Amino acid sequence: MANSEFTLDALIPAEMAARAEEVGVKKANMPFMTTFVLAVLAGAFVAAGGLFMTTVTAGGLTVKLTDGTISSTLSLPYGMVRLVGGACFSLGLILVLVGGAELFTGNNLIVMAFINRRVKLLALLQNWAIVYIGNFAGSILTAVIMFYTRQHTFGGGAIGLNMLAIGEAKTSLDFLQAVALGMMCNAIVCMAVWLTYSARTTTDRILAIVPTIAAFVAASFEHSVANMYLIPIALFVKYGASPSFFTLIQKTAEDYPHLTWANFLFVNLVPVTIGNIIGGAVMVGVVYWFVYRRKAVK
């Protein structure tokens, strides 16, 4: 105790790398049920960020009826709408990292402990699988609840219109584009997690999270867990909303041809997940392991 000294100074990168490795060991060795429940929570938390973003950016594209035809006018520049949405979406990672939960994309950094032979390959893959499934469950359950709130009808249908537009855009990507967008996304998300390893206080963590997460959303990058909410809620609206809702927004379900369950899984989720793993595990985890921890291999 005599040598211990309380300090608010941020950890330096070499200390952050050691901390990331220790966190990876703890995550890989958590009991199954604890990991799964925390993963379900993370899916719900990221969905909360997604619904916050969808709500706040609804009406960013103002639709009005003119002489019997639909015309649209941007009420804010595209980039500003994306920036505001990104700042709102950061709520999801704040809830995960401050509140405590297990997020697949962030857990890609367990690879640092794996390379240093402190986590076995089976334990790494088991963690990723359990957390991915738990994230999916939490996201889908949140989407189901949100559909029954009928929030998509709020604002004269503006929120539902935004949900549908987001879902259609995400299911219209080609495979390589989705992989690349997923890589860039999780490189930034894992940098947000990495920066929180320097933190001494909750405020430090939040200040590290908000601008990084806002950046990936503003750039329209693709996050697998976020998409587990954003696309299903759009699908629920497309296939489950009342005819009066579509009359209200002057659209039909046929106006969103790419928005299908098959496209959600195979056009978006699979390639985005591949990209997320490359971006998080390789572009961040392996790189920082090489710089700061390769000499610690036993």
Beta strands in 67-204 (DSSP E): 69-74
The answer as to whether 1 is a domain residue is no
Number of domains in the chain: 1
CATH code (residue 228): 1.20.1080.10
Average pLDDT for 264-278: 98
The answer as to whether 104 is a domain residue is yes
Using a cut of 0.85, tell me whether the model's pTM lies above it. yes
Write out the DSSP string of 171-200. TT--HHHHHHHHHHHHHHHHHHHHHHTT-S
Q: What is the CA radius of gyration of the chain?
A: 20
Percentage of residues in the chain having pLDDT higher than 90 = 87
Q: What is the pLDDT of residues 51-92, one digit of tens each?
A: 999 999 998 644 444 444 444 444 678 889 999 999 999 999
Burial 89-101 (b: 16+ CB within 10 A, else e): bbbbbbbbbeeeb
Host H or E run for residue 217: helix 202-218
69 forms beta bridges with 66
Average pLDDT for 217-238: 98
The answer as to whether 59 is a domain residue is yes
Per-residue model confidence (pLDDT) at position 75 = 63
Range of the domain at 182: 13-148+156-296
Q: What is the pLDDT of residues 131-155, one digit of tens each?
A: 999 999 999 999 999 999 999 999 9
The answer as to whether 281 is a domain residue is yes
199: number of Cβ within 10 Å: 21
Closest CA to 74 of 83, 55, 61: 61
Average pLDDT for 105-125: 97
- 134 φ, ψ to 5°? -65, -45
Pair 69, 165: CB distance under 8 Å: no
The answer as to whether 7 is a domain residue is no
The answer as to whether 164 is a domain residue is yes
Gap between the Cα atoms of 109 and 102, Å rounded: 12
The answer as to whether 268 is a domain residue is yes
The answer as to whether 4 is a domain residue is no
Decide if pLDDT at 4 tops 60.
no
Per-residue model confidence (pLDDT) at position 298 = 57
Burial 44-60 (b: 16+ CB within 10 A, else e): bbbbbbbbbbbbbbbbb
Only one residue has tokens 């989720």, namely 269
Pair 287, 263: CB distance under 8 Å: no
Q: How far is CA 175 from CA 169, 184, 188, 215, 274, in A?
A: 13, 15, 20, 23, 10
Per-residue model confidence (pLDDT) at position 267 = 98
